[in-house]
Amino acid sequence: MTNGNPVARGLNGMKRLGLDATDIRILNAVQQHGPLSKTRLAEIANISPTPCWARLDRLKAAGFIRGYHADIVLEKICDFTEVVVTVSLTHHRKVDFDRFEGFVRGRNEITECIATGGGMDYVMRVICPSLARFQTVMEAMLAAELGIDRYMTYIATRRVKSGQPNLAILTAKDGK
């Protein structure tokens, strides 16, 4: 699957295999459209169907694709409260991070959590049916004695932009 590119390291420090432009087109297509027919994917990737499907299978086997997801318009289904929460832990030992992250993984209301460097340790996206339910989540987090030093909450009022990165731009050699 490599095309002579040196092995690069991603944000998490793990080795990444070099991908060629066709691999990127295939990944970009399934990222934007989800599962596609063999013919349609081959058209987008600009190669014939059989090699395109073989590449897709290799990309899946190599773990480049976690799954396919629908982009549901939640506000058409129900009322909800979305809150962005930043969290700073008191201590910064591995055991502290592991304990906090274990709690986060166990809460369905916490839909995203990003570990960050800088002033805060985590940024979370929490979606609940009501502000009262959000408060229950936060109370459970504090009661779990996770070593939280401080947290800030921000009520989301509307989504201005949401999407996935453009893989062709992100993987371009010159960064443009």
Pairwise CA distance, residues 111 & 82, whole Å = 10
d(CA 58, CA 52): 10
Q: Do both 63 and 26 map to the same domain?
A: yes
> Within a domain: residue 94?
yes
Domain check: are 59 and 118 in the same one? Answer: no
Domain around 146: 74-155
pLDDT tens by residue, 72-106: 899 999 999 999 999 999 999 999 999 999 999 99
Instruction: For residues 79 and 117, state if they share a domain.
Output: yes
Instruction: Quote the tokens at residue 173.
Output: 């050699």
Closest CA to 148 of 126, 166, 122, 114: 122
How do 8-9 and 81-89 pair as beta strands?
unpaired
Asked whether residue 171 is assigned to any structural domain, the reply reads no
Q: Given a cut of 60, is residue 175 above it in pLDDT?
A: no
pLDDT in tens, 30-50: 999 999 999 999 999 999 999
- Is 161 inside any structural domain? no
Q: Do 102 and 149 reside in the same domain of the chain?
A: yes
Query: Distances from the Cα of 172 to the Cαs of 1, 23, 45, 47, 169, in angstroms?
Result: 17, 13, 17, 20, 5
Q: Tell me, yes or no, whether 166 lies in a domain.
A: no
Q: Is residue 142 part of a domain?
A: yes
Q: What is the CATH number of the domain that holds 83?
A: 3.30.70.920
Tens of pLDDT, residues 47-74: 999 999 999 999 999 999 999 888 889 9
